[in-house]
Chain A
Amino acid sequence: MGGLTVPLEHVLLLASLLFSLGLLGLMLRRNIIFMLMSLEVMLNAAALAFVAAGANWGQADGQIVFLIILSVAAAEVAVGLGLVLQIQRRFKTLDMDRANRLRG
């Protein structure tokens, strides 16, 4: 470690490509499991941008924001997957176009 000299722009380019892919998946898919996966990809891309910025200045702050994003992602997935189970039980489908009413 310690020999990497890539331009910061390239890492941020990777992060924005990953974010755009996640957004594309979020808009494209109807299955709520795939929507949650796309949200994970987008959160991960944001975390990558933070870590890259922290590495640019050699500070620990980027990794700390990464930790916060990690806990946000964990809490979001736990609640989201609980909701997925409830949706499957009530509507018998995971298709968000068909299960768009909050009252069953």
Chain B
Amino acid sequence: MMEVLFYIASIIALSATGLALSRSNATHALIYLIVSLLAVAVVFFLLGAPFAAALEILIYAGAIMVLFVFVIMMLNLGAEGDARERASLNPRNWILPGIMAALLFVELLFALSHTSDSISGVAVDPKTVGLALFGPYVLAVEIASMLLLAGLVGAYHLGRRFLVREGEDG
């Protein structure tokens, strides 16, 4: 039963990702991307990582995608942006990226062809994760917090509305 759920969630994740990256409308693509992230969260849950699944929904599908929504709304791309995207998606443009991505996938398949393990599906509960996070991995927590602080400062600096004043262009 769990196996069937896993394969259904995988198919939903793959098809939603493919649809998201081939839409011309950014908002539609974003909604497909949210579906894909939710499907990956289901996969996390089935793999026995409920904490990772909750964080995937809260932070990826929640916070990060809301950032995208706000930026798309602020940019107000409209119909002409839509038309330009549709023009850039003609089949001729697909050939070279498709070949390269397929080659990379074949290489990954070749690298994976020697694993023969099977996942037990025993859940690693959040308590274990938290104990490991603030035990041996406390330096990683510090680095992540520094990274988020740097991201905050950088986003504030870039997002200021009047970064360039009227007289001094460029």
A94 touches B52 (CB 8 A): no
| Contacts A/B (CB < 8 Å), 27 sampled | A5-B119, A9-B117, A11-B47, A13-B109, A19-B104, A21-B17, A21-B21, A24-B101, A25-B21, A25-B22, A27-B96, A27-B101, A29-B88, A40-B33, A44-B37, A51-B44, A51-B47, A60-B128, A60-B131, A66-B49, A67-B55, A74-B64, A75-B154, A77-B67, A78-B152, A84-B71, A85-B158
From residue A69, how far is it (CB to closest CB) to chain B in Å? 10
Contacts across chains A and B counted by CB atoms under 8 Å: 259
For the complex, give the distance between the alpha carbons of A101 and B112 in Å. Answer: 40
- Is the C-beta of B167 less than 8 angstroms from some C-beta in chain A? no
B17 touches A22 (CB 8 A): yes
Interface residues on B, range: 35 or more
Q: From DSSP, what is the main secondary structure of chain B's interface residues?
A: helix
From residue B4, how far is it (CB to closest CB) to chain A in Å? 10
Which are the 4 A-B pairs with shortest beta-carbon distances? Answer: A75-B151, A82-B158, A4-B121, A25-B21
The answer, among B14, B33, B60, B100, for a CB contact under 8 Å with A14, is: B14
A1 touches B105 (CB 8 A): no
Residue of B whose beta carbon sits closest to that of A104? B170
From residue B170, how far is it (CB to closest CB) to chain A in Å? 5
- Is the C-beta of B79 less than 8 angstroms from some C-beta in chain A? no
The answer, among A14, A21, A54, A82, for a CB contact under 8 Å with B124, is: A54
Contacting residues of chain B (25-69) with chain A, CB-CB under 8 angstroms: 26, 29-30, 33, 36-37, 40, 43-52, 55-56, 59-60, 63-64, 67-68
The answer, among A1, A10, A23, A56, for a CB contact under 8 Å with B45, is: A1
Most buried by A among B101, B150, B154: B101
For the complex, give the distance between the alpha carbons of A23 and B144 in Å. Answer: 25
Residues on B with C-beta less than 8 A from A48 are 40, 43-44
Residues on A with C-beta less than 8 A from B33 are 37, 40-41
